[in-house]
């Protein structure tokens, strides 16, 4: 702004009109960055110019327009689909992955099919057991705790079968899932708990119940499940943990060779920490020719999921102002 002269002219009505029109033009602009507008008044010696950031006129006659910021819409599903492009998936296999950035609440999903849970359902079984215990106002028995520890930490199937009976099999699981918010999961028939059907998106909902504060599970119940998922046996620490920083993970994996086809279901769910950020990740797959190839697929998908949030998202802004002498 130029230094003041010996005297200032009172702005004419026409100059004020020009200033107002200039301000309107600036506010309506959509260009990214800072926009400068000038308009010469016929009867004045001043110019309508930039740059200030106050909605009111000052004593010297300055008028300005508030800075406007526009945030772009980010399609995380599209970004995840792009991140999955280079991931090798066998012709016989299918995969679905879902991820939630805990801090921002942003999420992404790739694929929406139904998959066998295999042993990841053991987290759901334990959640159902704890809900029932909460309703009854009791703690888990020593036997139930023993089964729960073996079921999660070493994926013991006999322990899972015992607790499956305790919760009331599929009916008990489905009733619990209705309260937990899982809408696409259905318990397996009779004692076939490993053939429970689910989606990656539903598994994220389950993980939110286990790791989030807005949960049907009490803080004590959540801490109990989290603790067990953080103590997985050494030979079972694959899966979503591949995308984590070191040991910053809590997970449950599932693996099941289908007798009819000889192909493998390979799944992994859990919470991981990457560069100080927490993510909930669920990867489901079937039709893998070997367990090893299924594990490689799941781990590559987990890395792809986290990469969607790994870079600073772009931003756009537009600012402008106008002043009259």
Q: pLDDT for 99-114, tens place per residue?
A: 999 999 999 999 999 9
Contact 120, 212 (CB under 8 A): no
Q: What is the pTM of this model?
A: 0.76
Place of tokens 């309506």: 28
Say yes or no to pLDDT of 208 above 50.
yes
Q: CA 180: distance to chain centroid?
A: 18
DSSP-derived 3-state class of residue 43: coil
* Residues contacting residue 249 through CB under 8 Å, at least 6 positions apart: 230, 237, 240, 241, 270, 271, 272, 273
Phi-psi region of 111 (alpha: psi -120 to 50; beta: other; left: phi over 0): left
pLDDT category of residue 231 using cuts at 50, 70 and 90: very high
Domains of the chain: 13-71+316-321 (no CATH), 76-307 (3.40.710.10)
Which has the minimum average pLDDT: 53-67, 101-115, 249-263?
Answer: 53-67
What local confidence, expressed as pLDDT, does residue 72 receive?
78
Say yes or no to pLDDT of 163 above 60.
yes
Instruction: State pLDDT tens for residues 164-199.
Output: 999 999 999 999 999 999 999 999 999 999 999 999
DSSP state of 195: G
Say yes or no to pLDDT of 21 above 50.
no
The mean pLDDT of the chain is 83
In Å, what is the CA distance from 308 to each residue of 58, 75, 100, 214, 304?
Answer: 47, 10, 10, 25, 7
Instruction: Please state at what angle helix 121-136 crosses helix 157-167, rounded to 10 degrees.
Output: 40
Instruction: State pLDDT tens for residues 267-310.
Output: 999 999 999 999 999 999 999 999 999 999 999 999 999 999 97
Structure tokens at 43: 């009867």
Say yes or no to pLDDT of 59 above 90.
no
DSSP state of 188: P
Say yes or no to pLDDT of 263 above 70.
yes
What local confidence, expressed as pLDDT, does residue 269 receive?
99
What local confidence, expressed as pLDDT, does residue 68 receive?
54
Say yes or no to pLDDT of 317 above 50.
no
The residue-averaged pLDDT of 53-82 equals 66
């Amino acid at each position: 702004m130029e230094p003041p002269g010996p005297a200032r002219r009172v702005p004419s009505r026409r100059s004020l009109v020009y200033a107002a029109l200039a301000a309107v033009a600036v506010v309506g602009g959509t260009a990214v960055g800072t926009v400068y507008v000038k308009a010469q008044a016929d009867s004045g010696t001043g110019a309508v110019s930039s740059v200030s950031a106050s909605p009111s006129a000052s004593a010297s006659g300055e008028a300005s327009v508030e800075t406007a910021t526009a945030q772009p819409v980010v399609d995380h599903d599209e970004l995840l689909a792009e991140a999955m492009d280079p991931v090798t998936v066998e012709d016989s296999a299918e995969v679905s992955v879902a991820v939630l950035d805990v801090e921002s609440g942003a999420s992404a999903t790739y694929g929406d099919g139904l998959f066998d849970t295999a042993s990841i359902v053991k987290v759901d079984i334990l959640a159902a057991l704890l809900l029932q215990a909460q309703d009854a106002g009791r703690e888990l028995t020593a036997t139930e705790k023993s089964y729960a520890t073996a079921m999660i930490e070493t994926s013991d199937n006999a322990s899972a079968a015992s607790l499956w009976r305790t919760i009331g099999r599929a009916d008990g699981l489905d009733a619990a899932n209705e309260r937990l918010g899982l809408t696409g999961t259905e318990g397996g028939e009779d004692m076939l708990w490993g053939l429970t059907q689910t989606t990656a998106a539903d598994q994220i909902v389950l993980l939110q119940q286990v790791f989030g504060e807005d949960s049907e599970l009490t803080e004590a119940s959540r801490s109990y499940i989290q603790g067990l998922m953080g103590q997985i046996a050494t030979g079972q620490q694959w899966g979503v943990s591949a995308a984590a920083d070191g040991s910053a993970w809590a997970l449950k994996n599932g693996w099941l060779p289908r007798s009819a086809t000889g192909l493998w279901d390979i799944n992994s769910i859990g919470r991981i920490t990457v560069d100080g950020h927490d993510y909930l990740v669920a990867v489901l797959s079937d039709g893998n020719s070997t367990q090893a190839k299924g594990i490689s697929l799941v781990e590559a998908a987990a890395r792809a999921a986290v990469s969607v949030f790994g870079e600073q998202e772009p931003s756009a802004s537009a600012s402008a102002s106008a002043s009259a002498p």
